[in-house]
Structure 1
Amino acid sequence: MPLYTYKAVSKLGRNQSGYVEADSFEMAKEKLRAQKLLVTLLKDFQRPAKEIKLKPSIVLTLTHDLAQLLKAGLPLYDSLLMIEEKYRGTQGHLVILDLCDQVKHGMQLSSALKRYQKSFDGVYIAMVAAGERSGSLAEIFEELAVLIQKASKLKKQITTALIYPAFIGSFCLIVVSVLLFFLVPSMAQLFEGHRLHPMTAAVLGLSNWLQNWAVLLGSVIACIGCGLACFWKKPRLVQWRARMGLHTPIVKDFITQAVMVRFCRTLGRLMESGVPLLEGLNLAKSVMQHPVFEQAITKSAERVVEGSGLSEELKKQRCFPKQVTRMLAIAEESGSSSEMLGHIAECYSNDLEKNLMRLTAYLQPVILLVLGLIVGVILLAVLLPLTDVSSFLE
C-alpha cells in the first residue's frame, strides 16, 4: 500500500503533519477527512535523498525496542510501525518509516538496513541477516543491544580517562601564559638596573622572547596544526602512528586491551549468531580501529581460507597477545570458540577498566604537581628580587 506524507489543520486550528497509508491519492484524502483534518499538503512519501546518520543512542534505543516487541510475539512489520509512531518528529523517523515501507513490500530487514550503513555497520547488518536465516531476530536484537551498550561504555571509559589530563594541561597552559605575558612584564620595570638572580633573568628572558615572537610562534603552531589536520588520516601517517603506539610503553598496553575487547566481543557475537568464521573475521576487523591489527587479521584470514586454524595464524602475528592465542587454541579443540571469545573480551574489558582508573588516579597528582612546580618557579623568580628592591628603597 502506498505511503503519503501530509500537512493539515485540525478542528481546533492546530497545524499537524504525518504519514498515511492508502491505496490511492484520493483514498488518502478521504482517510484524513474522516479524521476531521483540513488537508493543506498531500504527496507521495519520498525516501531520504541522502543517507541519514543516526546518533548511537537512537540506534541503541531502536535496537532495544525491536528486541522487546519481537520477544513479545509481534511480527516485524507491526513492531516497526509501533516504533515509527514513537519516533515521529525525531531524527530517526524518516529512516524507520523507510524501513517499514521496505519490509512491507517484501524486502528483508537486513537488505533495507544496507541503505543506512552510516548508522548500521556491517556487524549489525550481518547479525540481523543471520537472525533472519535462523528465525531468531528477537535474540539477535537483544545481543546487538548488549554489544552496542558495551561498545559505548568502552568509548566513554577511554574518553573520560583522557578528558581530565587534557583539561588540566589546558588550564596549566593558560595559567603559565597569563604569568609570562602579563605578570612578569608588569614586574620587569621594578628590576631595571639591578643585578638579578639567574632564575629571574631566565624567566624575564623567556617572557621577553615570547612577547617579541608571539605572532611568529602562533603562526608556526597554526601551520603545524593545519598540516597535521590535512595529513592526519593519510595512510602512511596512520600506519606510523599505529606502529609508534605499539612501541610506546604503557600506551601499547591500553591500545592492545581496547582492540582485543572490540575484536573478541564482536567476533564472538557474530559466531554465536551463526555468521561464518571468515565473514565474521572481515566484519570484526572493521571495528578494531587499528591498521596494524587489521592487517594481521587480513593475513590470518587468507591462511584460514587455506585450512589453517585461527589461533595458529594469530600466533604468528606479533601484535596479538600470547594469552589470546593460547585460549583460542584450547577453545578450538573443544569447539567453544564463540564462548571463549566472549570470555576473553570480558577479561580484557575488566583489565582495561582497572588500568584506566589507575592511570587517572596517578595522572591527577602528577599533573597538579607539575603545574604547581611551573607556577612556583615563575612566582619565585618574580619574588626573589623584591627583597633587594625593598632594601634598596630603604
Structure 2
Amino acid sequence: MSETANWAWQARDGDGELRRGTLAAESAAEVASRLRSEGRTVIAIDRSVATSRGIEGRGFNIPGRVDREATASMIRRLSVMLEAGVPLPEALSIEVESTPALASELDTIREAVEGGAPPSEAFSAFPRVFPPVATGLLRAAEAVGDLPGMLARLADWLQRERRLHRQVRTALAYPVLLAVVGTVITLLLVTMVMPRFEAIYAQRQASLPPITEFVLGIGRGIVDGWAAWGPALVAIAIVTPFLTRTAIGSRVLEWCRFNLPIVRNVVRPADLARATRTLGLLLAAGVPLLDAIGICRGLSPWSRWLRFWDGLEAGVRDGEGMAGRFQSGDLVPSSVRAMVAAGERSGRLPEVLERVADGADEDLEIAVKRVGVVLEPAAILVLGSVIGLVAIALLLPVFKMGSTVG
C-alpha cells in the first residue's frame, strides 16, 4: 500500500474563487478526484513538506513554466507508440528519458497506470501540465477504446493553444515595446542632452523663451527628483503583479482586457477561438455536453466568460439547447450565434464549432497585423513630436543669441 502524504492544492470553486489547502492522500490522483467530487476545478497539486509554519508545498506557490510545445510533442510521441502497439506504461517509461522536464510527472503517471488507475485519473493529478481538456479527452478515449487517436487530438489542441497564446502575446507586447523605447529616448534627451544646453545658456546669460523654460524645468524635475520617483517606479513594478491577484485588481484588469480598444480587438477573437475549438473538440470526442461545458468553464478566469458558461449550462439543463444561450451577452458575434443554431439543428455542432474557431483565428491574425499598422505610425508621430518639441525648445535660444550678435 502506498504511503499517505500531505498534498498542497490550488483549485477554483464553482463561483470561480481561487482556493488553497492541503489534503492527506496516497497519491495526487486521489487528491484530484476528491477535489473534483466537491465541484472544484483543479489548478495545481504538489506534495507538501512540514515547516515551522505548518504544511507548505515544495515549489508549489511559484510553479515553473510549462513548455506547452514540449508537452504537445511528448503526447504526440505517446500516440505514435500506442498506435505501434507499445503498452502505455512502457511508452511512458521511454518518455521519462526523452522528456527530462516532465520526468517526475510522467514517472508518477506510469506508476499509477501500472497500479491499475485509468489514464484519465493518472494524468489528472498534474492539471498544470495536462489541463482539464486532456482529462476529458482521456475519459472519452477510455469509453470508446481509442487512446492513440485522442492523444493525437490532444497534441493538436495543445499546439494550437500555444500558437494562439504566442499571437496574443506578440500583439500586446508591441505597444509596450514602443512605449518603452519612446520613454528611454525621452529620458536620454532630458537627462543628458538638456543639462548641457542649460549650462551653455547659463554661461551666456541668455534670455530663454517660455517653451525653453518649460522643457528645462521638466528636465530639472526628472533629474533632481530621481531619488524619489526612481524607487517609486520600482515599487510599482514589483507591487502591480500582486495587486492584479486581488479582487479589485482582477476587476480592473478584466475591465481593461474587455474595454481598451487595442487589447479588446486582440483578446476577443482569441477567447472565441479557444472556447469554440475546445468545446467542438470535446463534443467530437464523445464527451457529454454538460461535462464539455464544465471543462471549458475552467479555461478562462474572467467573470464574463464564467457567466457565459454558467448560462450555457443552465440552458442545456433546462432543455433550451445551446443556441438560445449563445445569443445572450456580447462575447459571441451574432453571425456565430446563427451558425451554432444551425449546427445544433443539423446535428453537426462539433464541425460548426471548429469552423467558427478557424474563422476566429483568421480574425485574430487580422487584428494582430492591424495593431502594427495602427501603432507604428502613431508611435512615430508621438515620438517625433516629443523630439521635435525638445529640439525647438533647445535651439530657439541659440537662434536668438545668433541674431543678437548679428
Measured against the shorter chain, the TM-score band is 0.7 to 0.9
Aligned AA (2:373): A
Q: CA deviation at 1:116?
A: 1.2
Residue of structure 2 in register with 1:195 after alignment: 207
Q: Equivalents in 1 of 2:385, 2:282: separation in Å?
A: 52
Residue of structure 2 in register with 1:30 after alignment: none
**Do the aligned partners of residues 164 and 320 (structure 1) sit closer, same or farther apart at CA in structure 2, a change above 3 Å counting?**
closer
* Identity percentage of aligned residues: 24
Residue of structure 1 in register with 2:229 after alignment: 217
SS in structure 2 of the partner of residue 287 of structure 1: coil
On the 8 A contact 2:69/2:159 being kept in 1, the answer is no
Residue of structure 2 in register with 1:280 after alignment: 292
Q: CA deviation at 1:71?
A: 2.0
Residue of structure 2 in register with 1:27 after alignment: none
Q: Equivalents in 2 of 1:96, 1:228: separation in Å?
A: 35
Q: Pick the structure with greater CA Rg.
A: 1
Aligned AA (1:70): L
**Do the aligned partners of residues 387 and 253 (structure 1) sit closer, same or farther apart at CA in structure 2, a change above 3 Å counting?**
closer
SS in structure 1 of the partner of residue 86 of structure 2: coil
Q: Equivalents in 1 of 2:47, 2:251: separation in Å?
A: 36
Q: CA deviation at 1:141?
A: 0.8
On the 8 A contact 2:79/2:152 being kept in 1, the answer is yes
Give the alignment's TM-score, normalised by structure 2.
0.79
**Do the aligned partners of residues 60 and 67 (structure 1) sit closer, same or farther apart at CA in structure 2, a change above 3 Å counting?**
same
Residue of structure 1 in register with 2:143 after alignment: 133
On the 8 A contact 1:184/1:207 being kept in 2, the answer is yes
Alignment gaps of 5+ in structure 2: 3-45, 49-57
SS in structure 2 of the partner of residue 317 of structure 1: coil
**Do the aligned partners of residues 137 and 261 (structure 1) sit closer, same or farther apart at CA in structure 2, a change above 3 Å counting?**
same
Q: Equivalents in 2 of 1:63, 1:115: separation in Å?
A: 16
Give the alignment's TM-score, normalised by structure 1.
0.81
Q: Equivalents in 1 of 2:173, 2:153: separation in Å?
A: 30
Q: Mean Cα displacement is larger for which, 251-260 or 150-159?
A: 251-260
On the 8 A contact 1:324/1:344 being kept in 2, the answer is yes
State how 1:307-346 maps to structure 2 within 5 Å.
Answer: 307-346=319-358
Q: Mean Cα displacement is larger for which, 191-200 or 152-161?
A: 191-200
Q: Equivalents in 2 of 1:265, 1:62: separation in Å?
A: 21
Q: 1:91 aligns with which of 90, 101, 111?
A: 101
On the 8 A contact 2:172/2:263 being kept in 1, the answer is no
Q: Equivalents in 1 of 2:231, 2:87: separation in Å?
A: 62
On the 8 A contact 1:81/1:100 being kept in 2, the answer is yes
Q: 2:378 aligns with which of 362, 366, 374?
A: 366
RMSD: 2.3
Q: Does 1:163 align with 2:173?
A: yes
Q: Mean Cα displacement is larger for which, 240-249 or 321-330?
A: 240-249
On the 8 A contact 1:181/1:211 being kept in 2, the answer is yes
Q: Does 1:292 align with 2:304?
A: yes
SS in structure 2 of the partner of residue 106 of structure 1: coil
Q: CA deviation at 1:207?
A: 1.2
SS in structure 2 of the partner of residue 116 of structure 1: coil
Q: Does 1:67 align with 2:84?
A: no
Kindly tell me the number of residue pairs found equivalent between the two proteins. 347
Q: CA deviation at 1:349?
A: 0.5
Aligned AA (2:392): L
Residue of structure 2 in register with 1:38 after alignment: none
Q: CA deviation at 1:161?
A: 1.8
Q: CA deviation at 1:187?
A: 1.0
State how 1:1-394 maps to structure 2 within 5 Å.
Answer: 54-87=66-99, 90-192=100-202, 193-392=205-404
SS in structure 2 of the partner of residue 161 of structure 1: helix
Q: CA deviation at 1:374?
A: 1.1
Aligned AA (2:161): A
Q: Equivalents in 2 of 1:249, 1:117: separation in Å?
A: 33
SS in structure 1 of the partner of residue 261 of structure 2: coil
Q: CA deviation at 1:363?
A: 1.7
Aligned AA (1:154): L
Per-residue deviation, residues 113-160 of structure 1 (Å, max 9, x unmatched): 122122111111111111111101111111111101111111111122
Residue of structure 2 in register with 1:11 after alignment: none
Q: Mean Cα displacement is larger for which, 218-227 or 157-166?
A: 218-227
Q: Mean Cα displacement is larger for which, 232-241 or 291-300?
A: 232-241
Aligned AA (2:326): L
On the 8 A contact 2:276/2:353 being kept in 1, the answer is yes
SS in structure 2 of the partner of residue 164 of structure 1: helix
Q: CA deviation at 1:225?
A: 4.0
Q: Equivalents in 1 of 2:351, 2:297: separation in Å?
A: 19
**Do the aligned partners of residues 227 and 97 (structure 1) sit closer, same or farther apart at CA in structure 2, a change above 3 Å counting?**
closer
Per-residue deviation, residues 247-306 of structure 1 (Å, max 9, x unmatched): 343543322211101100111111111111111111112223432122221132123212
